[in-house]
A and B are shown apart, each in its own frame.
Chain A
Amino acid sequence: MNRLTSTHIVYLVALLTVVAGTVLVGSTGRNFFSAGNISDILTGTSILGFIAIGQTLVILVGSLDLSVPYVISLSSLIGAGIMADQAGNILPAVLAALLVSALIGLANGAVVAGLKVHGFIATLGMGLIVSGYLGSTYQGSSGQAPLAFRLIGATGLGPVPVSTLIMLACAAVVLVMLNTTRLGHAMYAVGGDASVARMSGIRTTTPVIAAHVLCSVLAGLAGLLLAARLGVGSPTIGSQGGYALLSIAAVVLGGTLLAGGKGSLVGTLGGVLIFAMLDNIMSVLQINPFLKDVVRGIVIVVAVAVYARRRTVHRQARFGRTSTPPPGPGDARSGDDDGRSGRDAGTRDGVTA
């Protein structure tokens, strides 16, 4: 019995979304597969993609990161601020933004791994701290990205935006790290069962800290890309996007266990793609933005319900719905196999694998 993995399901759902998109977008007289539309969808995947990659790591080690929106905003402001419309400042600006992001991630990781504060609380606190700093320091958009930097947000290879390519490159690196390095294996181990990891000689703090640092750096990259798109840094750009919860939703939609220890980055990318396509379809159909959230909400809950159901129904049935004659002759109790009774047959036995 080769059962579908959750990654398969995600991409099956993504395929269904493509079909639905083709029909629905087609009904408005437009083409879902036009270069412009594909470019729109892929642009939609890039920012959420960065964050969801990082969030996957953090969730895999059994933590969460709610501080990403504020890291995004801070990174966009630091980047655009240092650039100050000078092409020569791009490199130091990018490095500075990523360094600050990494430090925030390091602090998150240290609090989670060292002080044993759950990631939910640790990063909620960090988010508030950064948010307070942003609110008290910046009144509105600030800084200016030079044209050379803005091109990153505006150009692409054919219909594929550069930002999406960068995101996919990051995904590839993280994928290799997760699947084929000791650090990656240790992340799965710590998230799956920290005491098992410890007993196997793994330093259980390292994977947690590494996941948080990587998550923050990826959020910092997302912030820089947003600065490239907007041309300026903004203290609200991260929180406006609702990226913290949306990225967690994409990770879970991708089949990663919220409790950690099980999941795949490929699944997460599928989740991101589904969200981007849904957004695109609903925008083309000019659906009320509040209804968009309703659709997203339903998708997330249905997906997790499907996974939960798959996890509980794992035993194969030995017998069918009716009695079968026992094998071999002369069994002790062949019983009166009348096969069925009026008793709740059919109501409770729906759960056969």
Chain B
Amino acid sequence: MDIDVSTGRPSAPILRVAGLSKSFFGVPVLQDAALELFPGEVHGLVGENGAGKSTLMKILAGVYERDAGTIEIDGRPVSFTHPVQARRAGLSTVFQEFNLLPERSVAQNIFLGREPRRGLLVNRREMNDATAELLAELGITDIRPTATLASLSVAQQQIVEIAKAVSYDARIISMDEPTAALAGAEVELLYGIIDRLKERGTSILYVSHRLREIFDLCDTVTVLKDGRVVASAPAREFDDASLVRAMVGRPISAYFPDPSPGTAAGIPLLELSGCGNHQLDGVGLTLRAGEIVGVAGLQGSGRTELVEAVFGAAPFTRGSMTLGGRAYNPGSPRDAIRHRVALITEDRKAQGLSLNQSIIDNALSVVRSVHPGRTGAARRDAPNVFSSLEVVARDLDQEVQYLSGGNQQKVVLAKWLAIDPQVVLLDEPTRGIDVGAKVAVYTLMRRLAQEGKAILMVSSELPEVLGMSDRVLVMRDGRLAGELPAGATEEQVLQLATGARGVHS
């Protein structure tokens, strides 16, 4: 890199955005946004969903065209109409959804559309060597260039996505929630890669909902709210409270609501003893009415498998479960639903919603198929449920694919509220949704606990687990590694989750 970053204050920004505006169908989503990105800088872009972050990134990437404003790279005004043009100018974007082909190799994915050739034919060796070199530069040695993408973990796929962005000789990389699908240890891996990129003088525009990452990684933070930049300053001038306040305009105490008055842990509702299947073993736990129990653990530790087993999706084959004192052996989700057990799944788009169906059809889908007699009543209740959840939509016939992530998640919740569950299993309930919607989910969880429902919440976000749970169960390698009371620290959870420093008991 030709820019001297040793002074820490490089003179000229590599990217300068000014007066950027964009409307969709007359609704302004970005107004007069401005941003400066310096070489070797990690610049955090935060804000609630709908604040305009994604729109800003997509304009920079050439996916959307701006209505007004200027974008300069190295002082030269640019205008992109296709992602390829942006990449040629040195600006690569890692979108939230993977832009990779699962059935092709790592090298084939990275060099897709610009495979090195000898004569007319693709030079496979050169392609694989270049891929290995690229990954090595990022400090990655455990991904083979010839491996099929589908055989890699989500974290490894994310790394391939980043490597692909880097491979266009990118001087600016913008990343839209690169850790959305990653767990603790995998996030560390990403940190390492970002450090390497910084050393090379690459600038990074980093969008994340996880404040922790913003403070760990970013030199500068820009806060968007309702399409406008409301704050932009060095990261050290913010703390959790001031950043959240800038994003949502409300104090952090509202972030994790206190238990609703009158909430008390009651009788044991769900009990597991010595439960196991091909992914889990020796799982024993008790879940009481009115209780919120968090489940923490690394990716792959068996958290999702635990809730899927209780929900009958991948049942236990050993041990015993009781629900409300009676034997409970769900052989299918349908069984579990009949016992009023609900599972809000991790992957909302693939498992939670029929994206091209309407809000109301999604909300009624469970009632309709399991308790068809109650459909009418559920339909009458629906408007109240949606307004209590503050779902923002044109009307109930709108297809859910057009809703924001937060509103989609609320539709999933409404779907399960319709069966009046006694046990609610939540798997990553706030993944990829904005702060406002998160608070709505938390408030709903408190309300359900107050009503005497038992709640088991799986989450990769430790502040969330610790902020919401009455107790925290920590999983490791398919077993419960231990239990921590409310008020435990993130370090305690991580020790159990990674098995570091002896075994907690």
CB-nearest residue of chain B to A332: B482
Contacts of B315 in A (CB 8 A): 344, 348
- Chain B window 269-288, contacts with chain A (Cβ cutoff 8 Å), 1 for yes, 0 for no: 00001101111111110000
Residues of A within 8 A of B87 (CB): 201
Please name the residue on chain B nearest to A350 by beta carbon. B317
Given known contacts A319-B280, A330-B505, A181 and B121 CB-to-CB distance under 8 angstroms: yes
Residues on B with beta carbons closer than 8 Å to the beta carbon of A319: 276-281, 478
Q: Are A181 and B318 in contact (CB under 8 A)?
A: no
Q: How far is the CB of A135 from chain B (nearest CB, A)?
A: 40
User: Complex formed: what's the CA distance from A115 to B478 in Å?
Assistant: 50
Q: Which of B89-133 contact A (CB under 8 A)?
A: 95, 99-104, 108, 112-115, 117, 120-122, 124
* Nearest opposing residue in chain A for B61, CB measure: A199
A196 an interface residue at 8 Å Cβ cutoff?
Answer: yes
Complex contacts, A348 vs chain B, CB 8 Å? 315, 317, 331
Given contacts A176-B121, A189-B104, contact A332 B282 (CB under 8 A): no
How far, in whole Å, are A346 and B82 apart by their CA atoms in the complex?
A: 55
* Residue in B99, B115, B281, B320 with the greatest tally of chain A CB atoms within 10 Å: B281
Please pick, from A181, A201, A323, the residue contacting B282 in the complex, using a CB distance under 8 A. A323
Give the CA-CA distance A72 to B279 in the complex, in Å. Answer: 53
CB-defined contacts of A323 to chain B, threshold 8 Å: 274, 276, 281-282, 318
Q: Are B103 and A332 in contact (CB under 8 A)?
A: no
**A326 to B83 Cα, complex, angstroms:** 51
Kindly identify which residue among A189, A257, A326, A344 contacts B317, using a CB–CB cutoff of 8 Å: A344
Q: How far is the CA of A184 from the CA of B104 in the complex (A)?
A: 12
**From A193, which residue of chain B is reached at the shortest CB distance?**
B101
Known: A193-B101, A343-B329. A335 touches B113 (CB 8 A): no
In whole angstroms, what is the CA distance A270 to B282 when docked? 47
- In the docked arrangement, what's the CA distance between A185 and B283, Å? 47
- Majority-rule SS of A interface residues: loop
Q: A118 at interface (Cβ–Cβ under 8 A)?
A: no
Inter-chain contact A335/B273, CB cutoff 8 Å: yes
Known contacts A323-B274, A345-B318; is-contact A332 B281 (Cβ 8 Å) = no
Residue ID in chain B nearest A329 by CB atoms = B503
Write the nearest CB–CB distance from A96 to chain B, whole angstroms: 28
Instruction: Report A174-202 residues with CB < 8 Å from chain B CB.
Output: 176, 180-182, 184-186, 188-189, 192-193, 195-197, 199-202
**Residue B483 is within 8 A (CB to CB) of chain A in the complex:** yes
Q: Given the known A-B contacts A262-B103, A319-B280, A348-B317, are A202 and B329 also in contact in the complex, defined by CB atoms under 8 Å? A: no
Question: For window 456-490 of chain B, which residues contact chain A by CB distance below 8 Å?
Answer: 477-483
**Which residue of B274, B279, B320, B481 contacts A315 across the interface (Cβ within 8 Å)?**
B279
Also in contact, A349 and B504, with CB within 8 A (given A200-B99, A200-B113, A319-B280): no
Tell me if B268 is interfacial: C-beta within 8 Å of chain A.
no
* Residue in B103, B278, B284, B318 whose beta carbon sits within 8 Å of that of A188 in the complex: B103
- Is B120 a contact of A181 with CB atoms below 8 Å? yes
Known: A333-B284, A333-B480, A340-B318. A182 touches B113 (CB 8 A): yes
Interface status of B84 (Cβ within 8 A of chain A)? yes
Q: From residue B157, how far is it (CB to closest CB) to chain A in Å?
A: 12
**How far in angstroms is the closest Cβ of chain B from A53?**
19
Tell me if A196 and B283 are in contact (CB < 8 A).
no
CB distance from A204 to the nearest CB of B (A): 10
Is B319 close to A, CB under 8 A?
A: yes
The residue from A262, A322, A336 contacting B273, defined by CB atoms under 8 A apart: A336
Q: Is A352 an interface residue (CB 8 A)?
A: yes
Judging by beta carbons under 8 Å apart, are A326 and B281 in contact?
yes
> Which residues in B have their C-beta under 8 angstroms from that of A200?
99, 112-113
- Interface residue from B113, B122, B483, B499 paired with A201 (Cβ < 8 Å): B113
Q: Which chain A residue shows the least CB distance to B317? A: A349
| Residue in contact with B103 in the complex, picked from A181, A192, A321, A338, CB distance below 8 Å | A192
Max chain B CB contacts within 10 Å: which of A334, A335, A352? A335
B93 to chain A, nearest CB (A): 9
CB < 8 Å: which of A186, A324, A340, A345 contacts B281?
A324
Once A201-B114, A330-B505, A337-B282 are accepted as A-B contacts, the answer to whether A188 and B101 lie under 8 Å apart by CB is yes
What residues of A have a CB within 8 angstroms of the CB of B503 in the complex?
328-332
Residue of A nearest to B478 (CB): A318
CB-CB nearest in chain A for B499:
A328
A344–B124 CB distance below 8 A? no
Chain B contacts with A in 5-23, Cβ cutoff 8 A: none
CB of B274 within 8 A of CB of A202, answer: no
Q: Is A139 in the interface zone, CB < 8 Å from B?
A: no
The CA-CA distance from A181 to B113 in the complex, in Å, is: 10
Residues in B neighbouring A195, C-beta threshold 8 A: 99
CB–CB B274/A337 < 8 A: yes
Question: Is A261's CB within 8 Å of the partner chain B?
Answer: yes
The reply to whether A326 and B282 contact each other, CB–CB distance below 8 Å, is yes
- CB neighbours of B317 from chain A (8 A): 321, 343-346, 348-349
Instruction: Say if the beta carbon of A298 comes within 8 Å of chain B.
Output: no
Cross-chain contact B318 with A261 (CB below 8 angstroms): no
Is A34 in contact with chain B by the CB < 8 A criterion?
no
Given A182-B113, A185-B115, A201-B84, check contact A261 B320 (CB 8 Å): no
A206 vs chain B, min Cβ distance (A): 11
Say yes or no: is A339 at the interface (Cβ < 8 Å to chain B).
yes
| Residue of A189, A199, A262, A326 contacting most chain B CB atoms (<10 Å) | A199
Contact B278 A352 (CB under 8 A): yes
Known interface pairs A319-B281, A326-B281, A344-B331; A339-B318 also in contact (CB < 8 Å) = yes
Per-residue contact bits, chain B 62-93, to A (CB 8 Å; 1 contact, 0 not)? 00000000000000000000111001000000
**Does A341 interact with chain B (Cβ within 8 Å)?**
yes
**Which of the listed residues B101, B283, B477 has the most CB atoms from chain A within 10 Å of its own CB?**
B101
A61 to chain B, nearest CB (A): 13
Q: 9 other contacts beyond A330-B503, A348-B317, with CB at 8 A cut-off?
A: A186-B113, A196-B101, A257-B103, A330-B505, A331-B505, A332-B505, A341-B320, A343-B329, A349-B317
Top 9 A-B pairs, shortest CB-CB distance: A335-B282, A317-B278, A201-B84, A262-B103, A332-B482, A192-B101, A349-B317, A200-B113, A200-B112
Q: 15 interchain pairs (CB within 8 A)?
A: A182-B113, A185-B122, A186-B112, A196-B112, A199-B95, A315-B279, A317-B278, A318-B477, A318-B478, A330-B505, A333-B282, A341-B274, A341-B319, A343-B329, A348-B315
Q: B residues near A, CB below 8 A?
A: 82-84, 87, 95, 99-104, 108, 112-115, 117, 120-122, 124, 273-274, 276-284, 302, 315-320, 329, 331, 477-483, 499, 503-505
Q: Give A residues with C-beta under 8 Å from B.
A: 176, 180-182, 184-186, 188-189, 192-193, 195-197, 199-202, 257, 261-262, 315, 317-324, 326, 328-341, 343-346, 348-349, 352
